[in-house]
Amino acid sequence: MSADPRPIQQKNEDTVQLCSVKADGGMYGVEASAVREVLGHALPQRVPLAPAHIAGVLTYRGDVLEAVSLRNVLGLQPAREDRVLVLEDSAGERFGLMVDSVGGIVTAPESARESNPATLEARCGAIFNGVYRREEGLMVRLNMEMLRPAELARSAVFSSSMQAEGR
């Protein structure tokens, strides 16, 4: 077949639906099944003393959720991120992911995924889960479980950046 990795209707178990998001020009994909809702223009309330990767808190269906800034986690230039993906992990816990913009749903075949390059810095290695080549450029698949606030707080990779920026 062709080398075009774009959605080809294949057998269901071999494809994954990704919600494409942008941060600082880069394109990233989050499993669509984990996305509960996309909130526009939702500005999270800043929380003093919170770790740097937490942009703030927001309410969603009566719960207070933490909003993780994707730019901060990836070590990109801080800028205004005004879209929030409300994600739900396998345990049913929800959190927000702040991104620049949200694109459409992309159906990506598992076979087209290329694994992380060996040269990838440790900071991103845990969060990136392979990459897809697309017409518009690369789309990096994000490992949603590693973006959970509890996970970010635990991983030593980020605590160093937290201390630097948290002061």
Binding site for another protein (CB under 8 A): 44-51, 54, 57-59, 62-66, 93, 95, 149-150, 152-153
Q: How far is the CB of 62 from another protein (least distance, A)?
A: 7
- With respect to another protein, which residue has the nearer C-beta, 108 or 147? 147
Q: How far is the CB of 60 from another protein (least distance, A)?
A: 11
- With respect to another protein, which residue has the nearer C-beta, 39 or 112? 39
The secondary structure of the chain, three-state, reads CCCCCCCCCCCHHHEEEEEEEEECCEEEEEEHHHEEEEEECCCCECCCCCCCCEEEEEEECCEEEEEEEHHHHHCCCCCCCCEEEEEECCCCCEEEEEECEEEEEEEEEHHHCECCCCCCCHHHHCCEEEEEEECCEEEEEECHHHHCHHHHHHCHHHHHHHHHHHC
Q: How far is the CB of 125 from another protein (least distance, A)?
A: 22
